[in-house]
Every structure is written in structure tokens, then in C-alpha cells.
């Protein structure tokens, strides 16, 4: 029995040595001139487009594919209000930032008001308006011209707040276009067209009645994600740098506040862009 065990383990050791030797000489032969197996070809996986709404976080606008270039993230500008030539690199470009939905959350009202830049605030037609929302410059205070509310109510709200202008909806279907423009003629207000449905109907009507007007360029918080807002804010600054002016619209969201608080100073300083009340850009 003892001799059988010795014989068994000797046989196992011999087989192992033979296997190691075979593997060694096989590898040497491949290295000397043999060919490795052909690489497996893996088909390229096409990236899935991210769906982004570029017309605003509120409203019934349909989603459209979002692509990083800023040209795909802005609405087309009608002719007339932007400077005829881009700003030179040495000149200061101007950017207006309108925050809609002010007067709804007192905590957020106070935080946005504390940002040391002349942000423009847009207040809903209904609801109370705390003192934090008031702007010392009327060009930085607007009323949101809700399409579901009559022009009379919009006008009354405008007069009560001593606002400088109105901003029309960012999404949905334009309504009360001619009536609103006619009412603004008598009030001395300016109009910012929210470009609902990508249409500049409010802007065109205001121009016909000689009401100072402009159109929004980009909504920075169509998605309530701080990283997304920061990216879109950066594009708004770049647009202002490239064309001389830009109008960005955001909402009174915590993510929007944090993106502005953390990035606005650095972005505007690096690009030589000045933040101005939106009324200064209406022509």
C-alpha cells in the first residue's frame, strides 16, 4: 500500500511537469512566428439622444432633442432688437437674466434677492408680493402675462407693482397678442416675448405699436438639475459674448439659485459680460 501511494503521486507530478512543458513550448512557438487569434470585432453602439425641453420647465411644450451646441438650445431671434454687429472681445457684452415665479416662495425670494447682480424678477399675475421681490429699477421687474388671465388683470397687476414690463409665456399657444400690445402702448411698459411655440407674435405686435420689446434667447432651467442649469447658464454667457447681448430666463428653483450663486460671478468675469436689467435690452 505504501509503494502504491508513492507510485500514484509520482505519476501525478510527472503529468503536471509534462503539461507545464507543453504550455511553455507552445507559447515559444507562437512568439517565434505563430499568429494570435483574430480580435473580435464589436459593433459600435450609437449614443442615445437625451431629450430636453428647451421651451421652459413649466408649460406644455413638447420635448425636443437636446444637443450641446448652444445653437440648438436657443430660439431663433427675430430681426430688430439685437445689435447689428457682435461685440468685440474688448467691449463689454450684456446679459439679462429673468427669474420667473418670484413671490411664490419667500425663502427663495430672499435668496435670489441677495445675489449681488441686477437680476430681473418676473411676478405671477396672482398672489401676494413680498418686499424681497421689489426692484429699485423698474426695468428689472416684470409681470408674467399668463395667457389664461385677461389683459385687464395683467394691466392691473402691472400698475399695482409699478413694474417696468411684462414677459409673455415660455410655452403653450400665444393668446391676447394684439390686445396686450395695445394696452402696453398706454402704460409705457416694455415687453419680453417668451417665444411660446418658438413664435415671436408678441414681439412683432409690440414693434408694430412701437412698444420697446425683445425676445428671450434661452431657458436655463428647463430641467431642474443644477449641473444642467450651470451648463445652460454658461451657454447664455457665451451667446452674449458672441452677439453682444442675450436674455436668459430661469425660475425660482433651488437648483437655479445654486447655479447662479456658485457660477455667475466667474462666468461673467471670464467672458467680460455685464448682467443688466432686462428692460435695458428692449428696443
Tens of pLDDT, residue by residue over 157-183, are 888 888 899 999 888 777 788 888 888
pLDDT for 245: 93
Q: Does residue 148 fall inside a structural domain? A: yes
Mean pLDDT, all residues of the chain: 77
Q: Does residue 226 fall inside a structural domain? A: yes
Mean local confidence (pLDDT), 193-200: 86
pLDDT for 282: 92
Q: Does residue 241 fall inside a structural domain? A: yes
Q: Does residue 4 fall inside a structural domain? A: no
Rg (C-alpha) for the chain, rounded Å, is 31
Please state the domain count of the chain: 1
Q: Does residue 64 fall inside a structural domain? A: yes
Q: Does residue 31 fall inside a structural domain? A: no
99 half-sphere exposure, CB direction, 13 A CA radius = 29
φ, ψ of residue 183 to 5 degrees: the values are: -65, -35
Q: Which of 143, 138, 139 is nearest to 102 (CA)?
A: 143
Q: Does residue 39 fall inside a structural domain? A: no
Mean local confidence (pLDDT), 20-32: 54
Q: Does residue 20 fall inside a structural domain? A: no
The model's confidence at residue 137, banded by pLDDT at 50, 70 and 90, is confident
Q: In sequence order, which residues have a C-beta less than 8 Å from that of residue 247 and are 6 or more positions away?
A: 95, 96, 98, 192, 214, 215, 216, 217, 218, 278, 281
- 244: containing domain: 51-281
Report the CATH number at residue 182. Answer: 3.20.20.370
Instruction: For residue range 41-83, list pLDDT tens digits in order.
Output: 333 333 333 333 333 333 333 333 333 333 334 677 777 677 7
Enter the pTM of the model: 0.72
Q: What percentage of the chain reaches a pLDDT higher than 70? A: 69
Exposure string over 12-43, b if 16+ CB within 10 A, otherwise e: eeeeeeeeeeeeeeeeeeeeeeeeeeeeeeee
Collapse the DSSP code of 50 into the 3-class scheme (helix H, G, I; strand E, B; otherwise coil) and give the result.
coil
Amino acid at each position: 500500500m505504501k509503494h502504491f501511494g508513492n507510485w500514484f503521486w509520482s505519476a501525478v507530478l510527472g503529468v503536471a511537469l509534462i503539461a507545464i512543458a507543453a504550455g511553455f513550448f507552445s507559447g515559444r512557438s507562437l512568439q517565434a512566428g505563430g499568429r494570435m487569434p483574430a480580435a473580435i470585432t464589436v459593433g459600435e453602439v450609437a449614443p442615445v439622444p437625451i431629450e430636453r425641453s428647451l421651451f421652459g420647465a413649466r408649460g406644455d411644450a413638447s420635448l425636443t432633442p437636446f444637443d450641446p451646441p448652444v445653437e440648438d438650445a436657443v430660439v431663433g431671434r427675430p430681426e430688430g432688437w439685437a445689435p447689428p454687429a457682435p461685440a468685440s472681445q474688448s467691449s463689454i457684452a450684456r446679459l439679462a437674466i429673468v427669474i420667473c415665479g418670484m413671490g411664490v416662495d419667500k425663502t427663495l425670494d430672499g435668496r435670489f434677492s441677495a445675489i449681488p447682480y441686477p437680476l430681473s424678477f418676473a411676478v405671477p399675475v396672482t398672489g401676494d408680493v413680498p418686499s424681497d421681490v421689489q426692484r429699485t429699477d423698474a426695468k428689472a421687474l416684470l409681470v408674467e402675462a399668463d395667457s389664461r388671465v385677461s389683459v385687464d388683470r395683467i394691466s392691473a397687476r402691472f400698475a399695482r407693482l409699478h413694474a417696468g414690463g411684462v414677459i409673455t409665456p415660455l410655452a403653450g399657444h400665444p393668446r391676447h397678442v394684439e390686445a396686450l400690445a395695445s394696452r402696453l402702448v398706454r402704460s409705457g411698459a416694455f415687453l419680453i416675448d417668451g417665444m411660446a411655440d418658438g413664435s415671436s407674435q408678441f414681439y412683432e405686435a409690440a414693434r408694430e405699436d412701437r412698444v420697446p420689446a425683445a425676445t428671450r434667447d434661452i431657458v436655463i432651467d428647463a430641467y431642474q438639475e443644477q449641473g444642467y442649469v450651470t451648463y445652460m447658464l454658461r451657454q447664455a454667457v457665451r451667446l452674449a459674448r458672441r452677439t453682444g447681448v442675450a436674455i436668459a430666463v430661469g425660475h425660482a428653483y433651488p437648483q437655479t439659485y445654486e447655479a447662479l450663486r456658485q457660477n455667475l460671478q466667474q462666468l461673467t468675469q471670464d467672458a467680460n459680460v455685464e448682467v443688466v436689467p432686462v428692460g435695458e435690452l428692449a428696443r
